[in-house]
Amino acid sequence: MAILIIGAVASIGYYQFEVAPFQGTSTTITVSTVSCTPSTCVNVTMYPNAATVAPGFSPDTITIHAGMTVVWLNNDTSGAPHTVTPRNATEGWETGSGQLSLGDTYQHTFTVTGTYHYYCTIHPTVMTGTVIVTS
């Protein structure tokens, strides 16, 4: 049931862009993008060099209504992997994303009001975030 709800509010697409940092060479990277219906879904993005540039999760604090879905995207073109990991599994949140590579997304629908803290296990001091779920 939860999967059906998620599928209804978020769709995954793809775009490509070129990176040409050095003479004569270029690399095409495919990144997935997620479009949200604003009333039901919120995006959080990990931008390039998210491990060293705050906020690592952008926006790092969001407030949503119960029943809404948050979709995280690793858009860190430095290639660094990241995770979305709950601080406290007893908050009713699942165990998190595991490792996300460039272009990977992770989404969770929050159904219970409360404050949910999370972080990246690979960069725990810079990459922290909070989801506040209201009624």
Determine phi and psi for 59, rounding to 5 degrees: -75, 150
Is the CB of residue 64 less than 8 Å from the CB of residue 133? yes
Q: Which of 34, 69, 103, 123 binds Cu ion (CB under 5 A)?
A: 123
Q: Which of 34, 57, 73, 82 binds Cu ion (CB under 5 A)?
A: 82
Distances (CA, A) of 53 to 32, 43, 70, 88, 113: 22, 18, 22, 25, 30
Binding mask 2-41 for Cu ion (x = CB under 5 A): ----------------------------------------
Is 75 among the residues that bind Cu ion (CB under 5 A)?
no
| Bond preceding residue 21 cis, omega within 30 of 0 | no
* Count of residues of this chain found to bind Cu ion when the rule CB under 5 A is applied: 5
Is 73 among the residues that bind Cu ion (CB under 5 A)?
no
Q: Which of 34, 68, 84, 120 binds Cu ion (CB under 5 A)?
A: 120
